[in-house]
């Protein structure tokens, strides 16, 4: 007879990316029997956790409500480094750059003041003297966070995968989920594309682009748009080493850009945060260069503000899952208290994955988390009424 327990768990997690693996680790560490299902084999380049590096900022231009979560995430990344012996964080500092009156810069300053974070403010001339690679005008304002820096994203995902499995979590790769079957507040099932069925007391859905389709039958019409994005590395140059150039987030007339110093001789990495091309959940992403803006936006930005960079070396494509207000959605499905959803990270979620994973694990086990996630409630969207099943 088949072993029923082999298909029965305390918690099923659909999507073993950054959020899913972190949650899986913290659940398994607490003794929860966890099944992680992923359509690919993480870490991978199909989604939002590839590209070598991510910024971690603490004084947060997207809103002061993120700051406690960012600080908790930073502590947990340090803990993950120590537990695995894997270098995950480089303290490069992060320069937040813009012109007077920019809302993002104003919020960086306010959030730093509210939480007592170290923040240095420079004008464009002072910034050019400190970081010779920049070509800024005197009117530019730079809010510099010396304690912020860079995370190695794929290494972090791999570290959580290793620890989750070591703690007893079951990971099934190449296991795309076809549908969710909700049986009640203490029972939920999933069916994979291969026809396998698994059941659990609780379900966490953090499956990126597939989340809206999977969760819609449970009465949750998620206002999330999948957006194709591009980023690139430029040939290494002396002024872009981590001792002479910080990570950055910049609001300019041409758009919102972010970047990283030359780490491990990969070169200067630059991406555009706004813009991009909306695509359907099942569309294959066109490769870098298929859109003229792929190299064009990045090269124009570099020529204007970082002219000492070398030529564009290589470009890549990723995707954002974007909400209308660009804030996350972390909630339960309407009427399904044991179905947890984490989505809509809008291109700035990775830095929080450690803390969000911990908080999701606490919500699954205890019904609430120490971290305040009320800012990410699904109910904030006007007219986001649940469908009738």
Domain membership flag for residue 54: no
Specify whether 135 is located in the same domain as 182.
no
Cβ–Cβ contacts within 10 Å for residue 118, how many? 13
What pLDDT band is residue 19 in, cutting at 50, 70 and 90?
Answer: very high
pLDDT of 3 > 70? The answer is no
Lookup result for tokens 């403010």: 121
Specify whether 139 is located in the same domain as 229.
yes
Q: Which residues contact 196 (CB under 8 A, 6 or more apart)?
A: 7, 175
**Structure tokens of 2?**
């088949």
Cβ–Cβ contacts within 10 Å for residue 292, how many? 8
Specify whether 162 is located in the same domain as 308.
no
- Residue 148 contacts residue 44 (beta carbons within 8 Å): no
| Termini Cα distance of the chain | 35
Question: What is the chain's mean pLDDT, rounded?
Answer: 95
- Residue 15 contacts residue 38 (beta carbons within 8 Å): yes
Q: What percent of the chain has pLDDT over 70?
A: 96
**Host domain of residue 177:** 4-48+155-221+326-380
pLDDT at 360: 98
Mean pLDDT of 250-268: 96
Q: Compute the distance between CA of residue 185 and CA of residue 201 in angstroms, rounded to an integer.
A: 8
Mean pLDDT of 280-292: 96
pLDDT at 233: 98
pLDDT at 383: 57
Specify whether 38 is located in the same domain as 181.
yes
Specify whether 142 is located in the same domain as 229.
yes
CATH of the domain at 366: 3.50.50.60
pLDDT of 329 > 80? The answer is yes
In the listed set 322, 352, 370, which residue is the last one of a domain according to the structure?
322
CATH of the domain at 104: 3.30.9.10
Calculate helix-pair angle for 353-366, 153-166, nearest 10 degrees.
30
Specify whether 369 is located in the same domain as 238.
no
What pLDDT band is residue 387 in, cutting at 50, 70 and 90?
Answer: very low
List phi, psi (to 5°) of 235. -50, 140
Q: What percent of the chain has pLDDT over 90?
A: 95
In the listed set 322, 337, 370, which residue is the last one of a domain according to the structure?
322
Number of domains in the chain: 2
Specify whether 247 is located in the same domain as 376.
no
Specify whether 237 is located in the same domain as 314.
yes
SS (H, E, C) 58-98: CCCCCCHHHHHHHHHHHHHHHHHHHHHCCCCEECCCEEEEE
In the listed set 295, 322, 349, which residue is the last one of a domain according to the structure?
322
Domain membership flag for residue 195: yes
- Residues catalogued as catalytic: 50, 53-54, 269, 273, 318, 351
Domain membership flag for residue 67: no
Strand-pairing partners, residue 204, are: 13, 340
Specify whether 250 is located in the same domain as 102.
yes
Specify whether 250 is located in the same domain as 318.
yes
Lookup result for tokens 């659990």: 200
- Residue 386 contacts residue 334 (beta carbons within 8 Å): yes
Give the closest residue to 389 by CA, choosing from 216, 223, 222.
Answer: 216
Specify whether 141 is located in the same domain as 235.
yes
Report H helices in 149-235. Answer: 153-166, 211-215
Specify whether 236 is located in the same domain as 318.
yes
């Amino acid at each position: 007879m088949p072993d029923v327990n082999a298909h029965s768990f305390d918690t099923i997690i659909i999507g073993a990316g950054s959020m899913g693996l972190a949650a899986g680790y913290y659940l398994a560490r607490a003794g929860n029997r966890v099944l992680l299902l992923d359509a690919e084999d993480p870490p991978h380049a199909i989604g939002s956790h590839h590209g070598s590096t991510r910024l971690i900022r603490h004084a947060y231009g997207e809103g002061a409500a993120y700051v406690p979560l960012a600080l908790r995430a930073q502590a947990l990344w340090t803990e993950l480094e120590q537990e695995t012996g894997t270098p995950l964080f480089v303290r490069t500092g992060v320069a937040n750059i813009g012109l007077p009156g920019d809302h993002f810069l104003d919020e960086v300053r306010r959030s730093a003041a509210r939480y007592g974070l170290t923040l240095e403010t420079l004008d464009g001339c002072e910034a050019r003297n400190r970081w010779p690679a920049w070509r800024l005008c005197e009117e530019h304002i730079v809010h510099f966070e010396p304690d912020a820096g860079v995370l190695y994203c794929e290494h972090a995902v791999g570290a959580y995968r290793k620890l989750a499995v070591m703690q007893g979590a079951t990971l099934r790769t190449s296991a795309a989920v076809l549908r969710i079957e909700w049986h009640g507040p203490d029972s939920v099932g999933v069916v994979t594309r291969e026809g396998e069925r698994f059941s659990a007391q609780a379900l966490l859905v953090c499956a990126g682009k597939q989340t809206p389709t999977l969760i819609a039958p449970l009465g949750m019409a998620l206002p999330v748009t999948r957006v194709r994005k591009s980023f690139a590395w430029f040939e290494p140059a002396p002024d872009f080493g981590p001792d002479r150039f910080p990570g950055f987030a910049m609001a300019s007339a041409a758009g919102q850009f972010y970047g990283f110093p030359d780490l491990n001789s990969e070169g200067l990495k630059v991406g555009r945060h706004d813009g991009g091309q909306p695509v359907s959940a099942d569309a294959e992403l066109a490769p870098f260069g298929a859109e003229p803006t792929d190299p064009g936006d990045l090269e124009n930005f570099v020529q204007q503000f970082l002219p000492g960079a070398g030529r564009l070396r290589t470009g890549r494509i990723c995707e954002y899952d974007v909400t209308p207000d660009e804030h996350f959605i972390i909630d339960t499905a309407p009427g399904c208290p044991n179905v947890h959803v984490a989505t809509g990270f809008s291109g700035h979620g990775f830095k929080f994955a450690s803390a969000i994973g911990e908080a999701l694990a606490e919500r699954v086990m205890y019904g609430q988390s120490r971290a305040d996630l009320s800012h990410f409630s699904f109910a904030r969207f006007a007219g986001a009424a649940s469908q009738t099943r």
